[in-house]
Homo-oligomer: A and B are copies of this chain.
Amino acid sequence: MNADLGSDRLLAPDKLEAELRAIGAVRYHHLHPFHKLLHAGKLTRAQVQAWALNRYYYQAMIPIKDAHALVRLPTSELRREWRRRIIDHDGDGPGKGGIERWLKLAEGVGLDRTYVQSTEGILPGTRFAVEAYVNFVRDRPILEGIASSLTEMFSPDIIADRVRGMLAGYSFITEETLAYFTPRLTQAPQDVDFALGYVKQHATTRADQEAVLAALRFKCDVLWAQLDALHFAYVEPGLIPPGAFVPEGK
């Protein structure tokens, strides 16, 4: 629990930012054992496939989540700013954008594109967590929707770590396979500049600020629960739920 809960004093914007960063320090999924294994080159190709397959669903739903945010943004200026995120993921033509690059990553680790796109083999835990995120942005005030995007504050570090670790640790991973991540290193900070500025400016009551902090905790849970499901099914104890992806030779 937040030690400041119960207080009704408004936090200075920089103090709010510090509280947001403190949440990331203890709840962001760079701390999850699955990521530690992934980045240390300790997973099998089958386990990396399971990660790519499940994470695809998250990537594929991001523009839907962002379209729900567009619905709630009141001005052209705000919608233009947010629209960039949709363009980043959907691209500006066939074969472009983040979702397409994720499909290339999935193919690069040996998965069939059509199977990945069907999302047939993803874990129920993945599906429920991702849909919780989409529904959150659909159903909550836009201040909370924007705040829930702020896990991107913590992503450049994990991406740099991941790319370095995966290239070093897995013979079946090439720079081309990981091309998804390169533009994210510049897109994420740009997105964060806007979103962090927005919540610092628009959270004008202590209740708003608490809602912003809760939204970021929620989003950390969404990311963490996806790795819990992966780790449970494919690492330890390795119990794949009925109907989910079974790697070859398993």
Contact = CB atoms under 8 A, between A and B. Distances in A.
Of A31, A125, A129, A217, most buried by chain B (CB within 10 Å of CB) is: A125
A67 interface: no
A229 B221 contact: no
Given A125-B125, A129-B124, A132-B128, A243 B221 contact: yes
B220 A225 contact: no
A242 interface: yes
A187 B128 CA distance: 28
A148 B123 CA distance: 19
Interface in A221-243: 221-222, 224-225, 228-229, 231-233, 236-237, 239, 241-243
A204 interface: no
21 contacts: A27-B243, A124-B129, A124-B221, A124-B224, A125-B225, A125-B229, A127-B132, A127-B221, A128-B222, A131-B132, A132-B132, A135-B135, A221-B241, A221-B243, A225-B229, A228-B233, A228-B239, A229-B229, A231-B232, A236-B236, A237-B237
Contacts of A220: 242
A108 to B, nearest CB: 26
A110 interface: no
A247 interface: no
Interface in A111-144: 123-125, 127-129, 131-132, 135
B222 A124 contact: yes
A38 to B, nearest CB: 15
A183 interface: no
Given A131-B135, A135-B131, A237-B237, A124 B225 contact: yes
A168 interface: no
Contact of A225 (B27, B231, B237, B241): B241
Interface string A16-28: 0000000000110
A61 to B, nearest CB: 13
A197 interface: no
Interface string A140-174: 00000000000000000000000000000000000
A95 interface: no
Contacts of A232: 228-229, 231-232
Contacts of A125: 125, 128-129, 225, 228-229
A5 to B, nearest CB: 12
